[in-house]
Amino acid sequence: MEKMEKNESHAISLLVSNKPGVLIRVALVFGRRGYNIDSLVVSPTHDPRFSRMTIVASGDLPTLWQIIKQLNKLVDVIHAHDHTGEIVVERELALIKVKCPADQRTEILQITEHFKGDTVDLTEDTIMIQVTGSSEMLDSMMVMLEKFSIIETVRSGKLIMARGHEST
Amino acid sequence: MQKSKKKLKTGADALLECIHKHGVKYIFGHPGGAAIPIFDALVGSPLKFILTRHEQGATHMADGVARATGRAGVVLVTSGPGATNTITGLITSQMDSTPMVVITGQTITPMLGLDAFQEADVSGISYPVVKHSYLVKNVHDIPRIVKEAFYLAESGRPGPVLIDIPKDIASTLFEPNYDVAMDLPGYHVPSHGDPVAISQAADYLNKARKPLLLIGHGTVIANAGPAVRYLAETMQIPVTNTLLGKGGFPETHALSLGMLGMHGTAYANKAVVGCDLIMSIGSRWDDRIVGRLKDFCPDAIKIHVDIDPAEMGKMVVPHCSIVGDARLVIEELNTQLKKGDTTDWIKQINRWKKQFPLSYKKHGGLKMQYILDELYQMTKGKAVITADVGQHQMWAAQFCKVDHRFHWITTGGAGTMGFGMPAAIGAQMARPDALVVAVVGDGGFQMTLSELATAAVNKVPIKVLIMNNRYLGMVRQWQNLFYDDRLSGVDLEGNPDFVKLAESYGIKGFRIKRNAEVHKVLAAALAYREGPCVIEAVVEKEDNVYPMIPAGAAISEMVLGPPKKKMAKPVGST
Ligand SMILES: Cc1ncc(C[n+]2csc(CCOP(=O)(O)OP(=O)(O)O)c2C)c(N)n1
Ligand SMILES: [Mg+2]
């Protein structure tokens, strides 16, 4: 029988040295095991020597554990940690451009309001919405907007931070 | 006269000074445009540069230094093709965790990424095959980077480190500050293991009736041999070693089972199948030794000691894992032992040893086994033996027992043909008083044979024992056993006359053709100290290495000799 492999999504946070090439070294660890990176955010930290990476990737769990150990082995990685299942604050931002003729404006604005989004650009027949929340919430909003023909979307990728005194 | 003129140096000067300060004697390599400033700085440097005929040879020589001493070997090459020629040597070192520092010249910084002449993105290419790599962008970083490079290469789980230096950086004048701190916030070297895990291991060991120690390269690297020996002797535990674990525990010891795995001894493999506890000390449960993973010691308690946390659970999932330096961990463990009773187990093992010894036919055609057995009897473990890759390597591992650390040098993880002879050159240069013998196949030898010139020029007194079976023997063996003897791409027709070849380099050549000549010729070659020598042994063309566990099969499926029925194609890797 074929082995059932559950592909779960995991959010991994890395603190890395702020140097050229680090991103490639990190990506190679995933690539070597055939693990797909779904989203990746790199940003500076308050300490200019380090950067923060938040990676969402999906695949089987044992491989992921191995990948995290391999990441921690990289000299430029200060630490790598899987936050899945932990209580963390999780946010993502999306910009969504939707076709919006005047007669549909009200409904689109209602949806936007429901998801606590903002209108950041408006033309005769388009609207750009900015929305922040959990990735799941953003997904739900996208579903609601689908029937209005979405022109394009840009999502920031997931950001996570551990609560309280825990470090990310 | 000018007052307090600052001591300005070029980047290249500082680089070499840092390397010299680290205690390095030799640099192996090959020059080129982008590295000329560094070669210029070599003039007048106390470092001795060894010109190799190919950059791959340089890496294996440096690796030979590393494996003969435990200290990093150093390579210096030019940019582009010079640098890419080191990749095979880097992966060879990386797979076997040996310390090496490779310095590559690079195009000038303003030309980086612009397809300059002989430009290659060397640090980029290197990522998958190094422990770490650097591209130097600021001359002031050189002292820190060199310090870090050697520390990374030699500490923890050792490995190769690459430093790519643009030509303009190497030429820049600056005032070096050698007294710099390292900046490695992401690098931690485990030392003492977790005490809870160690007492758990002690508990398991104290209860085991049929325990087995499996020692790997980590035992050798960490110099854990004496501690392992104390453990084995106190508890009366038999010890088996991996190909690279040779030298971690005396193979002549009554408790030694020699090498396990694909071509290991039958008794070592039977002990693996029969044990109730197996403790790996510095081995990574490589697929060559565990065979089919799900059938590997299903009922035995598994304990894993390794300095690399990423090895834990990678192959075998252990009951108890201890991350730490093998010597420190075993020394701590040794304070918690209660003597168990393994008498029956040892008796069983001794029966296996009697019943299934390593053997070969002593009459008939000339066999590699006989030559290696004789070589071993004549050198009695005093020689440093390097081995290339193939049948000769496996037979050397079987018949040349190793008792001491740093007396056995071969490429395990990568299995790089062409490694053996240059590695012997490096080992011999690092240990001038040692008797160094390279055991190589006619195939692998021809991959780096140009380094005979390096041996000749530097009068490096290695003995190169070429096992000439006119075949890529190990591949022929697989085709013979698993592919209906449909030989394909394995006939080495066109081999040169190896004795004449040696002589053309001014190297002494010997030849063995018959059994009766083996002892005499080996004796003459071993006594020859005026420089390198080559011994060509014209051996039987077709012979197969046994015991053998087909790749991907369970250890219990080991075959001891020519199989009576056709064997299935192996499912395991290569
Ligand atoms: C660089 C490289 N290429 C190919 C191989 C695959 N390979 C493994 S053993 C072997 C044959 C080696 O032949 P030889 O050196 O004559 O040794 P023998 O097995 O005959 O003793 C080959 C081709 C390898 N290990 N390394
Ligand atoms: Mg051969």
> Which CATH number does the domain housing residue B290 bear?
3.40.50.1220
- In the predicted structure, residue A4 carries a pLDDT above the cut 50: no
Rounded to the nearest angstrom, the distance between the alpha carbon of B471 and the centre of ligand 2 is 4
Which token pair is B275? 């044990």
Average pLDDT for chain A: 92
DSSP B364-433: SS--HHHHHHHHHHHHTT-SEEEE-SSHHHHHHHHHS---STTSEEE--SS--TT-HHHHHHHHHHHSTT
Q: Tell me the C-alpha distance between A13 and A158, whole Å.
A: 10
B9 shares its domain with B137: yes
Dist CA B238 CA B278 (whole Å): 10
Residue with tokens 């592909």: A7
A24 vs B124, B131, B312: nearest CB: B124
Question: B433-442 pLDDT, tens per residue?
Answer: 999 999 999 9
Residue A91 pLDDT: 95
pLDDT bucket at A85, cuts 50 / 70 / 90: confident
Distance B292 CA to ligand 1 centre (A): 24
Asked if residue B571 has pLDDT above 90, the reply is no
In this structure, is residue B81 part of a structural domain?
A: yes
Pocket test for ligand 1, best of B392, B472, B573 (most atoms within 8 A of CB): B472
Residue among B523, B530, B423, B546 at smallest CA distance from B474: B546
Burial class of residue B487 (count of CB atoms within 10 Å of its CB; 0-12, 13-18, 19+):
middle
The answer to whether residues B105 and B72 belong to one domain is yes
Across A82-105, average pLDDT:
93
B382 and B523 assigned to the same domain: yes
User: Which chain A residues have a beta carbon less than 8 Å from that of B128?
Assistant: 28, 32
Q: What is the pLDDT of residues A12-29, one digit of tens each?
A: 999 999 999 999 999 999
Question: Which residue in this structure is represented by tokens 């006939």?
Answer: B491
Please count the other Cβ atoms lying within 10 Å of the Cβ belonging to residue A32. Answer: 11
Q: What is the mean pLDDT of residues B34-62?
A: 98
Bridge partners for A148 per DSSP: none
HSE-up (13 A, CA, CB side) for residue B446: 16
Do residues B143 and B223 share a domain? no
Backbone φ and ψ of B49, nearest 5°:
-95, 130
Per cent of chain B over pLDDT 90 is 92
pLDDT digits (tens, 9 = 90+) for B452-490: 999 999 999 999 999 999 999 999 999 999 999 999 999
For chain B, the domain total comes to 3
The verdict on residue B465 lying in a domain is yes
Q: Does B200 share its domain with B169?
A: no
- Within 13 A of A158's CA, how many CA atoms are on the CB side? 25
pLDDT, residue B565, reads 82
Q: pLDDT at position A84, please? A: 83
Q: For residue A1, what pLDDT is reported? A: 32
When pLDDT is cut at 50, 70 and 90, the band that residue B5 belongs to is low
Give φ, ψ of B314 to 5 degrees: -65, -45
Q: What are phi and psi of B82, to 5 degrees?
A: -60, -45
A163 touching chain B per CB within 8 A = no
Q: Using 50, 70 and 90 to split pLDDT, how confident is the model at B574?
A: low
Say how far apart CA B327 and CA B329 lie, in whole Å: 5
Structure tokens at B422: 């240059």
Among B355, B390, B425, the domain boundary falls at B355
Dist. CA B384–CA B68, nearest whole Å: 8
Q: Are B112 and B119 in contact (CB under 8 A)?
A: yes
What is the number of the ligand 1 atom nearest to the C-alpha of B492? 16
Residues of B with a catalytic annotation lie at 55, 117-118, 167, 474
Q: What is the mean pLDDT of residues B191-205?
A: 97
Residues B272 and B306 in one domain: yes
Residue A3 carries which DSSP code? P
What's the mean pLDDT when you consider all of chain B? 96
Same domain, yes or no: B392 and B498: yes
pLDDT score of B3: 42
Query: Model confidence at B172, in pLDDT bands (50, 70, 90)?
Result: very high
What amino acid is encoded at B47 in this protein? L
Amino acid in position B549: I
The CATH number of A90-161 is which of 3.40.50.720, 3.30.70.1150, 3.30.420.40, 3.40.50.80? Answer: 3.30.70.1150
Q: Which residues of B touch A62 (CB under 8 A)?
A: 313
Q: Rounded CA gap, B401 and B241, in Å?
A: 11
Token pair in block for residue B457: 């020029």
Q: What percent of chain B has pLDDT over 70?
A: 99
pLDDT at A61 over 90: no
Q: What is the pLDDT of residue B567?
A: 83
Pairing of strands B436-441, B26-30: unpaired
Contacts of B152 in chain A (CB under 8 A): 75
Helix (H) or strand (E) holding B501: helix B498-504
3-class secondary structure per residue, B198-213? HHHHHHHHHHCCCEEE
Strand-pair category, A88-99 with A126-133: antiparallel
- Position B4 scores a pLDDT of 47
Write the CA distances from B392 to A38, B387, B504, integer angstroms: 48, 8, 25
Q: Tokens representing B571?
A: 């499912």
Among B127, B152, B310, select the one facing A24 at the smallest CB separation. B127
Cβ of residue A56 closer than 8 Å to a chain B Cβ:
no
Instruction: Classify residue B289: in a domain, yes or no.
Output: yes
CA distance B468 to B457: 25
H-helix or E-strand spanning residue B9: strand B9-10
Angle between helices B87-96 and B55-69 (to 10 degrees): 20
Mean pLDDT of B342-362: 96
User: What is the reported pLDDT for A8?
Assistant: 79
Confirm or reject CATH 3.30.365.10 for domain A9-82, answering yes or no.
no
Does any domain span residue B540?
yes
Per-residue pLDDT, averaged over B549-569, amounts to: 88
What is the structure's pLDDT at A87?
Answer: 87
Look at ligand 1, atom 17, and give the residue with the nearest C-alpha: B441
Asked whether the beta carbons of B37 and B171 are under 8 A apart, the reply is yes
For residue B432, pLDDT over 90 is answered with: yes
Q: Which residue range(s) make up the domain with B237?
A: 195-355
Specify the pLDDT at position A5. 54
d(C-alpha A59, C-alpha B277), whole Å: 33
φ and ψ at residue B36, rounded to 5 degrees: -55, -40
Mean pLDDT of B42-54: 97
In this predicted structure, which of A32-41, A73-82, B52-61, B241-250 has the lowest mean pLDDT? Answer: A32-41
Q: A110-119, A121-130, A157-166: which has the minimum mean pLDDT?
A: A157-166
Whether the predicted pLDDT of A3 surpasses 50: no
Strands lying side by side in the sheet with B48-51 = B48-51, B26-30, B73-77, B100-106, B160-166, B132-135
Mean pLDDT, residues B385-390 = 98
Complex ipTM: 0.90
Between B9-13, B205-209, B569-573, the lowest mean confidence (pLDDT) is in: B569-573
Mutate to test the interface with A, among B314, B315, B317, B321 (most CBs of A within 10 A): B314
How far is it, in rounded angstroms, from Cα B68 to Cα B423?
9
Pocket of ligand 1 (CB under 6 A): B 388-392, 415-417, 441-444, 467, 469, 471-475
What is the pLDDT averaged over residues B304-324? 96
Residues B347 and B373 grouped into a single domain:
no
Lowest mean pLDDT: which of A150-154, B110-114, B361-365, B506-510?
B361-365
Bridge partners of residue B302, in order along the sequence: B278
Least confident of B1-15, B24-38, B352-366: B1-15
Residue B380 maps to which CATH number? 3.40.50.970
Domain-embedded: residue B400: yes
Taking residue A39's Cβ as centre, other Cβ atoms within 10 Å add up to 17
End-to-end CA distance of chain A: 40
Locate the domains of chain A by residue range. 9-82, 90-161
Could you tell me the pTM of the whole model? 0.95
* Residues B434 and B306 placed together within one structural domain of the fold: no
Token duo for residue B389: 């890759």
Q: Contact B186/A76, CB-based, under 8 Å? A: yes
B355, B390, B419 - which closes a domain = B355
Is the pLDDT assigned to residue B295 strictly greater than 50? yes
Q: Which tens digit of pLDDT belongs to each residue from B256-281?
A: 999 999 999 999 999 999 999 999 99
The distance of Cα A9 from the centroid of its chain, to the nearest Å, equals 11
